[in-house]
């Protein structure tokens, strides 16, 4: 089920866009019957792509006996599958690198991707899965959703990334709890939107939960999951011991590779990743001995456990603050517009399914601009806060009180008819009219509000929650047109029917 945030990300103009050559390469790579020479010709027209491909092929990673000087020659030596998957990988890496925010740790991102890609290819080879090329590319691009979330959500998401270190298993859980989506779902949707082969769409989507993948792609998705654990372990400056333990256990369970071989495999991944680093403009790290590091880590295991528990507690506190900030208006503490939209949609759905009434009130502070102009914005803020507190005294069970925007407030009232909602609106209008608002400096001012009320029940059927909101907005407009400081009700039956023509 797609969430609002996922739709917002996928529809954002800030998303990376594929150049024409990348689109054409992907089309050719998806086709099992594509002409080999046509693929070679397309790749050869892009100097940057050709240079990257040849640099990679000629690196010590592949260990070829002679230098390759053309795309056609690379295809003959490595095979069409290898060239296809490498080409897709380099196309996407170029797009992401060129369009990524300048303050994003791009080198750290690609180092992690490279660890993953090399690990997936190596595990595929050792386990006999015979999907080395596909595993390399699937692992390399598994985190493209992360870049999309950085571009659209911005600094808040980058702070979330920093708080989880390099552990994407932790990141995935926090994203689900805080954002109701995650970088795997975003990446899969983006891959589908870009027209990538289905094998990559599905492995990206399920790489944190391989058992959810279809039978056809489950083995490859497990390879990508294992590669992510390798990246969790190798990406930090200090090796992540806990991730190494999880990786070793899953490696034996899924691939029938003994746990004792896991450490040697990590050393090989470190070495092979260094050989490919220049192809992705990554500065190679000094070689690390995994076995030696693990011996040292055992001596400080108790200390690490304590620190990790403290860190998790801090992350939970931070998540609670972020969740609250995402749902609340910072000035008044009421629900914000996003939370209101969700409450109205949910309330309307339940009202329609169970056929009980639902009412909506829109309040607007009369002549609020005059308050800001005459007394200043701090005075206006004081008025907003005091009205919010008054509305909270009458918050209905299961309802929602929100700051709709500016000087407008809303009340969603489940199981309450229009007449009762109008009484509540009138009661609050009178309360506000009778108050004197302390705006500081021993000044007290008189404030009034206008209100619009609308609702749905068995006599007043509506087509959507947006129509209900539109009715309340029209009622509010009628109240303001009637001289303000009053309540007006608009029922759907009062609205003219639209012509089908």
pLDDT exceeds 80 at position 215: yes
Question: Residue 303: what pLDDT?
Answer: 65
Selected catalytic residue, list 133, 407, 408, 465? 407
For residue 431, pLDDT beyond 70: yes
Question: What pLDDT is attached to residue 325?
Answer: 67
Pairing of strands 408-414, 437-440: unpaired
pLDDT at 319: 75
Spatial neighbors of 316 by CB under 8 A, at least 6 apart, are: none
Residue 362 predicted with pLDDT over 80: yes
Q: How far from 392 is each of 193, 265, 347, 404, CA to CA, in Å? A: 44, 60, 19, 14
Quickly state the pLDDT bin for 401 (edges 50, 70, 90).
very high
Give me the pLDDT at residue 301, please: 53
Q: What is the mean pLDDT of residues 257-268?
A: 88
Ranking 71-80, 141-150, 219-228, 356-365 by mean pLDDT, the lowest is 71-80
pLDDT band at 104 (very low <50, low <70, confident <90, very high): confident
- Domains of the chain are 1-14+103-292 (1.10.3210.10), 17-99 (no CATH), 337-494 (3.30.70.270)
Spacing of C-alpha 463 from chain mean position: 30
Q: For 432-455, write each residue's pLDDT tens digit.
A: 999 999 998 888 999 999 999 999
User: Is the pLDDT higher at 307 or at 114?
Assistant: 114
Per the model's pLDDT, the better-predicted residue between 343 and 99 turns out to be 343
Q: Which of 487, 471, 468 is closest to 366 using CA atoms?
A: 487
Q: What whole-number percentage of the chain has pLDDT above 90?
A: 38
Residue 372 has pLDDT above 80, yes or no: yes
Q: Mind listing the pLDDT tens digit for each residue in 272-331?
A: 888 888 777 777 777 777 777 666 656 655 565 677 777 777 877 777 677 766 789 999
pLDDT band at 498 (very low <50, low <70, confident <90, very high): very low
Note the residue count of the chain: 501
Task: Output the pLDDT for position 384.
Answer: 96
pLDDT band at 493 (very low <50, low <70, confident <90, very high): low
Residue 494 scores a pLDDT above 70: no
Q: Is residue 457 very low, low, confident or very high in pLDDT (cuts 50, 70, 90)?
A: confident
Residue 485's pLDDT band (cuts 50, 70, 90): very high
Query: Per mean pLDDT, which range of 84-98, 215-229, 374-388 is the poorest?
Result: 84-98
CA distances from 375 to 163, 256, 303, 364, 385 (A): 42, 74, 57, 19, 16
Chain mean pLDDT for the chain: 84
Report the pLDDT averaged over residues 156-175.
Answer: 85
Position 501 scores a pLDDT of 32
Name the most confidently modeled range: 126-135, 152-161, 465-474.
Answer: 465-474
Pick the more confident residue, 336 or 277: 336
> Which pLDDT value is given to residue 293?
67
Query: Can you tell me which residue has the tokens 């002549």?
Result: 367
Q: Are 336 and 403 in contact (CB under 8 A)?
A: yes
Higher pLDDT, 339 or 163: 339
Predicted confidence (pLDDT) at residue 110 exceeds the cutoff of 60: yes
pTM for this prediction? 0.56
Q: Report the distance separating Cα 496 and Cα 501, nearest Å.
A: 14
Band of pLDDT at residue 111, cut at 50, 70 and 90? confident
More confident residue, 335 or 81: 335
More confident residue, 279 or 189: 189
pLDDT band at 459 (very low <50, low <70, confident <90, very high): low
SS3 401: strand
Taking each helix axis from N to C terminus, what angle separates 80-99 and 132-140, rounded to the nearest 10 degrees?
10
Q: How far apart are CA 427 and CA 431, in angstroms?
A: 6
Is 407 catalytic? The answer is yes
Residues 149-172 have a mean pLDDT of: 85
pLDDT, position 412: 95
Helices 377-392 and 418-434 pack at an angle, to 10 degrees, of 130
């Amino acid at each position: 089920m797609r969430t609002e945030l996922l739709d917002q990300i996928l529809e954002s103009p800030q998303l990376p866009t594929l150049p024409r050559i990348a689109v054409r390469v992907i089309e050719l790579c998806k086709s099992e019957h594509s002409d080999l020479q046509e693929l070679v010709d397309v790749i050869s027209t892009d100097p940057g792509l050709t240079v990257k491909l040849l640099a990679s092929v000629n690196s010590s990673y592949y260990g070829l006996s002679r230098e390759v000087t053309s795309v056609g020659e690379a295809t003959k030596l490595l095979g069409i599958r290898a060239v296809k998957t490498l080409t897709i990988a380099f196309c996407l890496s170029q797009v992401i690198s060129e369009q990524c925010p300048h303050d994003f740790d791009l080198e750290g991102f690609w180092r992690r991707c490279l660890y993953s890609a090399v690990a997936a290819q190596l595990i595929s080879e050792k386990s006999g899965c015979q999907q080395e090329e596909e595993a390399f590319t699937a692992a390399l691009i598994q985190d493209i959703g992360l870049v999309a979330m950085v571009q659209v959500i911005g600094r808040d998401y980058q702070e979330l990334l920093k708080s989880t270190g390099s552990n994407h298993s932790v990141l995935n859980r926090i994203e689900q709890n805080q954002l109701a989506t995650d970088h795997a779902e975003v990446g899969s949707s983006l891959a589908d939107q870009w027209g990538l082969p289905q094998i990559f769409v599905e492995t990206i989507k399920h790489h944190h939960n391989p058992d959810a993948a279809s039978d056809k792609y489950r083995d490859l998705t497990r390879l990508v999951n294992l590669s992510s654990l390798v990246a969790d372990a190798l990406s930090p400056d200090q090796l992540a011991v806990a991730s190494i333990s999880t990786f070793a256990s899953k490696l034996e369970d899924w691939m029938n590779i003994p746990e004792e071989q896991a450490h040697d495999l990590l050393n090989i991944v470190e070495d092979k990743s260094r050989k490919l680093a220049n192809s992705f403009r990554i500065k190679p790290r000094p070689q690390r001995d995994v076995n030696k590091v693990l011996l040292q880590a055992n001596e400080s295991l108790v200390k690490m456990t304590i620190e990790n528990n403290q860190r998790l507690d801090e992350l939970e506190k931070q998540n609670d603050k972020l969740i609250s900030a995402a749902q609340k208006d910072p000035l008044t503490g009421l629900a914000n517009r996003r939370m209101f939209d969700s409450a109205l949609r949910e309330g309307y759905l339940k009202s329609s399914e169970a056929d009980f009434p639902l009412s909506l009130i829109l309040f607007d502070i009369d002549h609020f601009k005059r308050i800001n102009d005459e007394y200043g914005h701090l005075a206006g803020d004081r008025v907003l806060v005091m009205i919010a507190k008054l509305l909270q005294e009458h918050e209905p069970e299961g309802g929602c009180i929100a700051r709709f925007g500016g000087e407008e407030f809303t009340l969603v009232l489940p199981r309450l008819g229009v007449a009762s909602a109008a009484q509540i609106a009138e009661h609050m209008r009178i309360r506000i009219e009778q108050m004197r608002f302390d705006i500081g400096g021993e000044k007290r001012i008189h404030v009034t509000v206008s209100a619009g009320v609308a609702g749905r029940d068995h006599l007043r059927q509506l087509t959507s929650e947006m129509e209900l909101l539109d009715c309340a907005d029209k009622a509010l407009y009628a109240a303001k047109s009637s001289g303000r400081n009053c309540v007006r009700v608009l029922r759907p039956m009062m609205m003219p029917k639209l012509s089908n023509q």
